[in-house]
Amino acid sequence: MTRKLSETPLVHPTAEVHNSTLGRWTEIADRSRVSESELGDYSYMMQDCSVWCATIGKFANIAASVRLNATNHPTWRPTLHHFTYRASDYWDDAEHESEFFAQRRAKRVTVGHDTWLGHGSTVLPGVTVGDGAAVGAGAVVSKDVAPYTIVAGVPAKPIRERFDRRTAERYQALAWWDWDHVRLRASLDDFRELSAEAFLEKYEG
């Protein structure tokens, strides 16, 4: 059976979404977990994704098994184990360490518009993936990714630019991701058939 998207987010029954905002025409696939995050219009994530404290733009393409904001353990402490900051899980007279969690939340991940995160990729805390960027399968992104740049590897490094800098800037200025649903449909053939340059020439200004 073919899934039909709508302005109401499509969340698979096995997915978990907590304290998050989902935009229109969005989809959360099987067994994904989303918490304290925002997912922009038309964005989707496939199976088995884990997303925490992330702001995701519009038209983000998130493949299966992607992890956004993979938190770090306290390497500077005598132990790496989470009993030090999740203490109330272990003892009735102890509390979770609120400052530790506040520090984690302060390192929110940001994913721009029209992005692609390949299968099994990981974006570490505090990283920004710019508009139009693509992240290769299995990559571990530990540093910000410039707009319209393709990165891959562990740790992720730039492979090439999708478009030259000037073209990328023109696309960011055009901001087609803010067009309404009707205009997107009217431009569908051009999205399919025109080159990046020809598309800009037709729709700029």
Alpha helices in 35-92 (DSSP H): none
- Assess whether 96 carries a catalytic annotation: no
Written as six digits, the tokens of 136 are: 């290769």
Q: What is the rounded CA–CA span in Å between residue 132 and residue 160?
A: 13
DSSP 142: -
d(CA 50, CA 175): 28
Between helix 196-203 and helix 165-174 the angle, nearest 10°, is 40
What is d(CA 123, CA 109) in angstroms, rounded to the nearest whole number?
Answer: 8
Q: Identify the bridge partners of residue 44 per DSSP, sorted by sequence position.
A: 27, 61
- Which one from 73, 81, 96, 181 is the annotated catalytic residue? 73
Strands 67-68 and 38-39: unpaired
Distance CA 158, CA 134 (A): 10
Catalytic residue numbers?
73
